[in-house]
């Protein structure tokens, strides 16, 4: 019988594993360097790959060739160990994807003659529909910040922009100041895989951005220069210490605003505004291909899940209002 662990208990379990040895650290770094050069993965993705590979290497602790020398039975045992200790099917599916990329790289380098992950079946994943807020809930959420304070005006601009442009949380908090073109009403966004896309701002988000830039940002920075982010660019949104807000800080402000708007916290997710952006566009007749470009999805199949959300909404309307619903 599997033992469920909280995330904190799982982190403690990983901390108890033996430290990473040099024999495993070197092939992991070679793989990360190669995949960064080939695909231009973002830092967050590379860090996630590193954690997954180091977790397996530390669990293996150099046995029978370590990470590079492991066989299919060893991988199966590790996945079973993770499942017993509460890692989700989705987390294990992501790990398996990373392992396939790692051992494919080892094959090309001649470090292995086979791929031990090739015959492992990915776990069955439940198809979870994105949680979108209703349009009235969005209105209440956007109106929640206290725009009488510089922080509240900044929060309103961030919420308006995320909903208007369908941004990921990481894209929003890492926006550089020069990404906004208020004259053209457009935003340049660098998404996954360092791919750029242009997104229209919309009148409302442009209005709140202009107010933030002219009124709130100078107060938050105290008229001083803002420290550059990694890559040398100046952040668009800043906190009282002139630093960009973290994902956790933005998530906290979303939860706080949701509470003020009378929205059930269970209805809110870190990407709730992005999901609502996509669902509301489809409900109002947007083209799926156009939505794919706005969201920055590399595959149309990723965008298509929103059609299920929109269809569910239309079915509810039909049941409620049609005489034979």
**CATH number for the domain that contains residue 252:** 1.10.443.10
Residue among 71, 323, 274, 260 nearest 163 (CA): 274
What's this model's pTM, rounded to 2 decimal places? 0.61
Q: Does 87 fall in a domain? A: yes
Q: Does 236 fall in a domain? A: yes
Q: What is the structure's pLDDT at 1?
A: 40
The answer to whether residues 251 and 145 belong to one domain is yes
Instruction: List, as own/partner pairs, every contact residues 204-211 make where C-beta atoms lie below 8 angstroms and the sequence separation is at least 24, other chains included.
Output: 204/160, 204/164, 205/157, 205/160, 205/161, 205/163, 205/164, 205/165, 206/182, 208/153, 208/156, 208/157, 208/160, 208/161, 209/157, 209/160, 209/161, 209/180, 209/182, 210/182, 211/147, 211/153, 211/157
Q: Does 114 fall in a domain? A: no
In angstroms, the CA 26 to CA 65 distance is 13
Cα four-point dihedral sign 6, 11, 15, 19: positive
Residue 238: pLDDT over 50: yes
Domain that holds residue 93: 7-108
The predicted model gives 127-154 an average pLDDT of 87
Q: What is the structure's pLDDT at 225?
A: 82
Q: Does 75 fall in a domain? A: yes
The answer to whether residues 212 and 83 belong to one domain is no
The answer to whether residues 303 and 231 belong to one domain is yes
- Bridge partners for 181 per DSSP: 186
Burial class (CB in 10 A: 0-12, 13-18, 19+), 18: exposed
Residue with the larger pLDDT of the pair 228 and 135: 135
The answer to whether 105 is a known catalytic residue is no
Q: Catalytic one among 5, 72, 85, 192?
A: 192
When pLDDT is cut at 50, 70 and 90, the band that residue 52 belongs to is very high
Ranges 58-72, 200-214, 249-263: which has the least confidence: 58-72
Residue among 173, 139, 183 nearest 276 (CA): 139
The predicted model gives 281-297 an average pLDDT of 76
Instruction: List, as own/partner pairs, every contact residues 150-153 make where C-beta atoms lie below 8 angstroms and the sequence separation is at least 24, other chains included.
Output: 150/215, 150/216, 150/217, 150/219, 150/220, 151/216, 151/220, 151/239, 151/240, 153/208, 153/211, 153/212, 153/215, 153/216
The answer to whether residues 71 and 140 belong to one domain is no
Supply 123's token pair: 């776990």
In angstroms, the CA 41 to CA 311 distance is 34
The answer to whether 297 is a known catalytic residue is yes
Q: Does 120 fall in a domain? A: no
The answer to whether 72 is a known catalytic residue is no
Q: What is the structure's pLDDT at 206?
A: 93
The answer to whether residues 139 and 27 belong to one domain is no
Residue 109: pLDDT over 70: yes
Q: What is the structure's pLDDT at 304?
A: 65
Q: Quickly tell me which residue has 């894209």 as its tokens.
A: 171
Residue among 232, 254, 231, 283 nearest 141 (CA): 254
Residue 149: pLDDT over 90: yes
Q: Quickly tell me which residue has 């992991």 as its tokens.
A: 28
Residue among 64, 53, 63 nearest 25 (CA): 53
Q: Catalytic one among 58, 154, 274, 275?
A: 274
Supply 151's token pair: 């922080």
Q: Catalytic one among 105, 154, 156, 168?
A: 168
The answer to whether 306 is a known catalytic residue is yes
Residue with the larger pLDDT of the pair 324 and 27: 27
Last residue of a domain, one of 71, 90, 108: 108
Distinct helix (H) and strand (E) counts, the chain: 15, 3
The answer to whether residues 167 and 52 belong to one domain is no
Q: Does 130 fall in a domain? A: no
Residue among 73, 133, 122, 60 nearest 96 (CA): 122
The answer to whether residues 310 and 187 belong to one domain is yes
The answer to whether residues 67 and 139 belong to one domain is no
Q: Does 239 fall in a domain? A: yes
Cα four-point dihedral sign 135, 211, 292, 253: negative
Q: Quickly tell me which residue has 């409302």 as its tokens.
A: 204
CB 294 within 8 A of CB 202: no
In angstroms, the CA 136 to CA 138 distance is 5
The answer to whether 5 is a known catalytic residue is no
The answer to whether residues 241 and 303 belong to one domain is yes
The answer to whether residues 89 and 174 belong to one domain is no
The answer to whether residues 159 and 78 belong to one domain is no
CATH number at residue 41: 1.10.150
Q: Does 36 fall in a domain? A: yes
Q: What angle do CA 145, 293, 42 make, to 5 degrees?
A: 75
Domain count of the fold of the chain? 2
When pLDDT is cut at 50, 70 and 90, the band that residue 242 belongs to is confident
The answer to whether 318 is a known catalytic residue is no
Residue 312: pLDDT over 60: no
In angstroms, the CA 95 to CA 79 distance is 9
Q: What is the structure's pLDDT at 322?
A: 58
In angstroms, the CA 61 to CA 104 distance is 22
């Amino acid at each position: 019988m599997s033992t469920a662990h909280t995330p904190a208990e799982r982190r403690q379990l990983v901390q108890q594993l033996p430290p990473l040895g040099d024999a495993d650290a070197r092939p992991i770094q070679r793989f990360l360097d190669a995949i960064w050069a080939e695909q231009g993965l973002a830092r967050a993705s590379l860090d996630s790959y590193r954690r997954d590979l180091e977790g397996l290497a530390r669990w293996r602790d150099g046995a029978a060739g370590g990470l590079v020398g492991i066989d299919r039975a060893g991988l199966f045992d590790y996945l079973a160990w993770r499942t017993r200790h509460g890692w989700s099917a989705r987390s294990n599916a992501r790990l398996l994807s990373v392992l396939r990329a790692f051992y494919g790289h080892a094959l090309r380098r001649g470090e292995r003659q086979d791929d031990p992950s090739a015959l492992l079946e990915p776990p069955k994943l439940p198809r979870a529909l994105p949680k979108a807020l209703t349009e009235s809930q969005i209105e209440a959420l956007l109106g929640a910040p206290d725009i009488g304070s510089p922080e509240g005006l900044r929060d309103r601009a961030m919420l308006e922009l995320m909903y208007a442009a369908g941004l990921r949380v990481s894209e929003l908090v890492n926006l550089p100041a020069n990404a906004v073109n208020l004259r053209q009403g457009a935003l340049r966004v660098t998404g996954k895989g360092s791919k750029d896309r242009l997104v229209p701002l919309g009148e409302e988000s442009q209005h709140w951005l202009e107010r933030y830039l002219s009124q709130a940002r100078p107060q938050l920075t105290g008229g001083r220069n803002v420290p550059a982010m990694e890559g040398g660019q100046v952040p668009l949104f800043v906190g009282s210490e002139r630093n960009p807000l973290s994902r956790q800080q933005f998530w906290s402000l979303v939860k706080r605003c949701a509470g003020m708007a009378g929205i059930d916290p269970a209805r809110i997710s870190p990407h709730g505004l992005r999901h609502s952006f996509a669902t509301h566009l489809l409900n109002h007749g947007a083209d799926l291909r156009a939505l794919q470009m706005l969201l920055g999805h590399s595959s149309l199949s990723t965008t298509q899940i929103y059609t299920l959300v929109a269809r569910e909404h239309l079915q509810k309307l039909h049941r409620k209002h049609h005489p034979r619903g």
